[in-house]
Structure 1
Amino acid sequence: MEYNVEDLLPIVEKLSREYTSNESSSVSYETARMLMRAVLYCIDAYKSEKSCESVEERESGYELFSVNEKLNAEMIYRRGYDRVVAKVIQAKELYNAIIDQFQDFHCRNCHDTIIEGIPQFFLRYDPRFKPYDHILTLDYPTIKSLDTLCGVDAIDRYLRNIKTEWSFLNVFDPKCVEALLERIIPDYKNLFLDNISNAVLLTGIGCILAGKPVGMLELQKNDMELIGSFFGDASEEKAEEKIRMLISKLFRSGFPENAELEEYFLTTSKEYAVRIVNGIKNNALAGVFDLTDITIGMS
């Protein structure tokens, strides 16, 4: 059985009464639009717990959808709403597990987003009237994007990304990570806006090729010859294949019971390949890696 938008209007009317504390079912166009988006979000939550396209992108073309014939539109909405609330609870549990062993390496952007920002989501999120609004800008980037996810789906994916990245970062001595970040930007505590695990993994790959301890995260200028010779005159495609091999080797040996880490970080291989190949072509490989014996601004 299929329902069109008209079948959802009674649900929107009930939400309107709740929104106005039962004073009226008549609301402004903007409010009615907001409530219709809320209904659609919850219906999406019922249909799929794994993914949620941006309601904002879908609402103009979302006219018909298939549902279980035994359930009417309001039942679908209510079950979807219950799933949204359940996902908030699950996300809060995930956040508490992450924060228990979390370190921000004194990076303000990371701290402000994860330590200060995420709790605000749980305080201010409105699953009834604005379930599609995850409130936060999530300024600290993760390696994998959130695509078009919104609402609690975006927060859930973001936290899962953070959990994966910190499973990797937590094996390093924080002082070594902080020293690397300081080489990238001396005032990294205030100015570093990129992804920490991205920088750590790139340096770790360089350490493997230079025959140095990965845990130290230290490379010198004389290591560039070994790294350059490994890639030679490889194209970006060939370089990417080599980097994928190195990443797989690193995670299979260091994290043999966590295949998710390897899969997650393999997505960095193309970016690394472009940077390394360009560095070799322009005789600037030292600029790709943040070396201990080169001051920023020097070649």
Structure 2
Amino acid sequence: MTKKGVNDTNNDTIDDGLSPFFKEYDDFFASHETPCSIDYQLYIDTMSCIGIEYMYNYLYNLSLENEFCNKFDISEINKLLKGYDKKWELLLINIFELVLINSLGLVICNEDLSRLNINNLDREIIKNKLEKLSTGELETELIGDVNILFS
């Protein structure tokens, strides 16, 4: 993800997995191939693309995820990941997804985004606020909350 030391699969992909593509990509004879090792899974991954288009989309989407995650303190992201799993450093997880979900929960609770932890009271507030909404109302609420996050 965003900052060095957050997750092994992220660091390995960035540090070692992507560089073979730029060294070995053959646009003339093998433009459909993507010679690299990408272990870090994006939240939205366009697997339908191949070759240079795949790499461009991967890097673009990764940069968007990183841009969002960089809005939060690295220590808060690490606390969130530690709460997710004791071996979080080794998991094949998407960090952006976890940060997005928790930050969205905090927006729903009208809480400060300086932390990413969702406590039991926050969960109860989220449940009470959302459980009685129709699908359309829920969609409207969540779109509004997402707009707050990305503004």
> Aligned runs of 1:110-149 on 2, under 5 Å?
110-149=10-49
Whether the 8 Å contact between 1:172 and 1:215 is mirrored in structure 2 is: yes
TM-superposed CA distance for 1:212, in Å, is 2.3
* Largest Rg, 1 or 2: 1
TM-superposed CA distance for 1:251, in Å, is 1.2
Partner of 2:125: 226
Structure 1 regions of 5+ residues with no counterpart?
A: 1-98, 253-299
Question: For 1:180, which of 80, 88, 91 is the aligned residue?
Answer: 80
> Aligned runs of 1:99-114 on 2, under 5 Å?
102-114=2-14
Normalising by structure 1, we get a TM-score of 0.47
Structure 1 residues 118, 137: CA separation in 2 closer, same or farther (over 3 Å shift)?
closer
Partner of 2:150: 251
Q: Distance in 1 between matches of 2:17 and 2:120?
A: 39
Over the aligned positions, Cα root-mean-square deviation in angstroms equals: 1.9
Whether the 8 Å contact between 1:108 and 1:189 is mirrored in structure 2 is: yes
| 2:67 pairs with 1:167 | yes
Structure 2 counterpart of 1:207, which letter?
A: L
Structure 2 counterpart of 1:211, which letter?
A: N
Partner of 1:194: 93
Structure 1 counterpart of 2:120, which letter?
A: K
Q: Percent identity at matched positions?
A: 24
Structure 1 residues 204, 105: CA separation in 2 closer, same or farther (over 3 Å shift)?
farther
Normalising by structure 2, we get a TM-score of 0.90
Q: Deviations over 1:82-139 (max 9, x none)?
A: xxxxxxxxxxxxxxxxx9xx52443111111122111111112111211110123522
Q: Distance in 2 between matches of 1:186 and 1:237?
A: 37
Structure with the higher helix share, 1 or 2: 1
> Aligned runs of 1:194-213 on 2, under 5 Å?
194-213=93-112
Q: Distance in 2 between matches of 1:182 and 1:103?
A: 16
Partner of 1:241: 140
Structure 2 regions of 5+ residues with no counterpart?
A: none
Which gives a bigger RCO, structure 1 or 2 (Cα 8 Å, sep 6+)? 2
* More off after superposition, 231-240 vs 143-152: 231-240
TM-superposed CA distance for 1:202, in Å, is 0.8
2:123 match: secondary structure: helix
Q: Distance in 1 between matches of 2:55 and 2:104?
A: 30
1:103 match: secondary structure: coil
